[in-house]
Amino acid sequence: MRLGLVLVGVALCASAAAAPRAGKVVRIERKPAGLTGTPRYCTVSTVDMLSYCVSEKSPEVGDHLTVIDNQHVLGIIRVTHVQPLQDQCQGTMMWMTQGTLDSGDLSNPQGQMIATLDVPVDPRGAKLMNVDKSPGGHPWGTDTIYALDRNGDGTIDVEFVQYQCDDSGNQSINATATCYEVWAQMPGRGLEKLRAEKQKHCY
């Protein structure tokens, strides 16, 4: 009889341990993955889903462009066609893509708007941010800058920078090229230049 009572007690304890317990729900914030590909940006037409992407590396059919403005992620465009746009030097730093809207709504962008490739973001928190200086130390107003907060924490994680430069990549009023840079936030070190590309001027 005593053995039976012990077994019943063990079974009741096991049942209580297995039962769900009421308590506080803890939200786990999942930060976007690091930058592992070739981060790029594109300007976007919300009317016909045409995009113009800047990089030596071509977008590919099937790529997904994440469209972001100063408030949030607007939507995702799936690339259906890619056309290289050669410059007068017979080089290609610009690609025109046609796409279809996979998700979201691009009808009411707020402030700046770009699309990104190979830049993982939190769709609930990512947004573009305004900046008051160039990461390269150039005088304010001389660079075109798109600064991206990837997860909504208020920190600039990626900056795409465009400026007029000489053959060595230095900013110049007598420019012979347009320089494109990608800067990324490195833990404990701040923004560091991730990539630099140059498109020569040929007339």
Mean pLDDT estimate for the chain:
85
Cα–Cα distances in angstroms (integers) from residue 140 to residues 29, 137, 145, in the given order:
35, 8, 10
**Mean pLDDT, residues 101-111 taken together:** 95
Res. 5: pLDDT tops 50: no
CA distances from 203 to 89, 177, 178 (A): 8, 11, 14
Domain annotation covers residue 66: yes
Calpha distance 95→102 (Å, rounded): 20
CA–CA distance, 98 with 174 (Å, rounded to integer): 35
Span 130-179, pLDDT tens digits: 998 889 998 888 899 999 999 999 999 999 999 999 999 999 999 999 99
For residues 191 and 186, give the distance between their C-alpha atoms in angstroms, rounded to a whole number: 6
Average confidence (pLDDT) over 107-122: 95
Average pLDDT of span 24-36: 51
Average pLDDT over every residue of 79-93:
90
Using DSSP, state whether 13 is helix, strand or coil.
Answer: helix
Report pLDDT for 124: 94
Mean pLDDT score, 19-39: 56
**Residue 24 domain-assigned (yes or no):** no
pLDDT of residue 140: 81
Question: Under 8 Å CB-to-CB from 81, ≥6 apart: which residues?
Answer: 61, 97, 98, 99
**pLDDT for residue 105 is more than 80:** yes
The confidence score (pLDDT) of residue 33 equals: 56
What's residue 139's pLDDT? 87
Residue 158, CB-side half-sphere exposure with 13 Å CA sphere: 28
Residue 24 has pLDDT above 70, yes or no: no
Model pTM score: 0.81
In a domain, 20, yes or no: no
Does 118 map to a domain? yes
Number of domains in the chain: 1
Q: CB-based contacts of 28: which residues, under 8 Å, 6+ apart? A: none
Range of the domain at 64: 40-200
CB atoms within 10 A of CB 102: 11
The answer to whether position 3 is within a domain reads: no
Could you tell me if residue 30 is inside a domain?
no
Domain presence at residue 122: yes
End-to-end Cα, the chain, rounded Å: 101
Assigned domain for 45 exists: yes
